[in-house]
Structure 1
Amino acid sequence: MGFVHHSNYLRYFEIGRTEFLRSAGGRYRDVEAAGLFVVVVHVDCRYRMSAKYDDEIQVTTRIAKVTAAKIVHEYVIARDGKVLVEATVTLAVIDREGRLQRVPESVIQ
C-alpha cells in the first residue's frame, strides 16, 4: 500500500515521549526501576495526511498539562514542514499493583 498504517503513529508518539524524557536527562527505565509505570489512558488523534513508508518525519512532543497523577502530552508529526498528525495523549502513573501514583518530578522536568 505504501502508506503508514494509522496504528503506527501511536508508536511514534511513544518514541517521542521517550526521547522527550531523555532530552531532559531522564530515562524511562529509571521510572520502572522505582516501581512506577506510565500508562496511556486516553488518545485523541487527528490524521490530516498520511506518511509514506521511508518518509523522514519529525515528531514534536510537549507537555501540555500535569496533574497529581496524570500527564498530558501534545504531539505534532510532520514531513517537510507539513503537519500529518496532531494528537493529545493522557498518561497516568501507576505502581506494580496498578494503583494510581503521583507523577514523579523526574518525568516532568
Structure 2
Amino acid sequence: MVTERRAITEMPVRVRYHECDAQGVVFNAHYLSYADMASFEVEKALFGSHREFLATGLDVVVAESNLRYRLPCRFEDELVVSAYLGHLGTTSLVFDYEIRRDGQLTTEIRTRYVFVDPATLRPTPPPGEVIARYTPFLAQPV
C-alpha cells in the first residue's frame, strides 16, 4: 500500500563554515541540530510556539535518532529540512526529517520522542487536543 504524507514544516538552512569538518563536509552531529531546530518549527506550526506547546502540560524528550547520509552537504549549501510525522503512539511520536539541497535528498533522520510531564520527566499520554493537532499529518493511504 502506498501512503501519502505532507510535511508539517519546511525550514531553510544555510550551512555555516564552523559546521564543517576538516574534509569540508557538514560534521555529522550538526545534522541532528538541524532536525532539532525543525522540531521547534513543528511546535510553532502546530501550537504557535514552544511556550504554547508547554502550556498543554507536556514536553518531549528524545529517545532515539537514526541518520542516513546520502550526499554530503558543504559550506554555504542552501538546505531545506522537512519534518514529517512518521508515527503517533500513546506516549511517543516519531518525526522523519528529510534534508534536501536543490531538491536532492542528502540526509534522512528518524527521531523518536517521548511525551513527558515537565515536572517529573516521566512518560505521559498527550491529551486529545494535542493528538488532534498532530493527527492530520499522519500518512494517509492513497
Q: Does 1:108 align with 2:131?
A: no
TM superposition shift of 1:3: 1.5
CA deviation string 1:1-27 (max 9, x = no partner): 322100001111111111122223432
Aligned to 1:12: 34
With 5-14 and 94-103 compared, the bigger mean Cα shift is at: 94-103
Supply the distance in 1 between the matched residues of 2:66 and 2:78 (Cα, whole angstroms).
23
Name the structure 1 match of 2:120.
97
- The offset of 1:35, in angstroms, is 4.5
TM-score with structure 1 setting the length:
0.87
Corresponding residue of 1:68: 90
Q: Which residue of 1 aligns with 2:49?
A: 27
Q: How many residues align?
A: 109
1:49 positional shift: 1.4
CA offsets per residue over residues 75-109 of structure 1, 9 Å max, x none? 10010111110111100011121211113433626
- Deviant stretches of 4+, over 3 Å: 104-107
Provide the alpha-carbon RMSD of the alignment. 1.8
Deviations, residues 14-62 of structure 1 (Å, cap 9, x unaligned): 1111112222343222233454321110111101112112211000111
AA aligned opposite 1:73: F
Structure 2 unmatched ranges of 5 or more: 1-21, 136-142
Alignment of 1:20-59 (within 5 A): 20-59=42-81
Tell me which amino acid in the other structure corresponds to 1:55. D
Task: Report the TM-score, using the length of structure 2 for normalisation.
Answer: 0.69
Unaligned runs of 5+ in 1: none
